[in-house]
Amino acid sequence: GPSISHHQGLRQGDPLSPLLFILAIDPLHHLLAAAAAQGTLAPLPGRGTSMRISLYADDAVIFANPVKEEVSKLLDILHLFGEATGLRLN
């Protein structure tokens, strides 16, 4: 779609900020869950949970196996997500 230009972000503590973050990051959660369900990303060893991403406030932490191939696949997923959303790793 067409680009949306903005001139100012939200103020610190704006109550709309968490909702916008959830809307923006939810597709990433679904992409990671689908990749794990399809076997693209292997289960995390020694974990009783299949959680791959921890989201809090405006932060996201992604858990991955320390295997070159899996990290490469994860970076591909993040690249595609970034291309679709304009969001980037930092």
Determine the pLDDT at residue 30.
Answer: 92
> Hey, what are 53's tokens?
């991403």
Locate tokens 């595609």: which residue?
80
In this prediction the pTM is 0.76
Give the rounded distance of the alpha carbon of 65 from its chain centre.
Answer: 16
Q: Report pLDDT digits (tens) over 30-41.
A: 999 999 889 898
The answer to whether the Cα torsion of 15, 21, 24, 27 is positive or negative is: negative
> What b-and-e string marks burial along 45-81, b requiring 16 or more CB atoms within 10 Å of the CB?
eeeeeeebeebeeeeeeeeeeeeeeeeebbeebbeeb
Determine the pLDDT at residue 48.
Answer: 60
Domain boundaries, the chain: 17-42+49-85
Q: Report pLDDT digits (tens) over 39-86.
A: 898 888 776 666 788 887 678 889 888 899 999 999 999 999 999 988
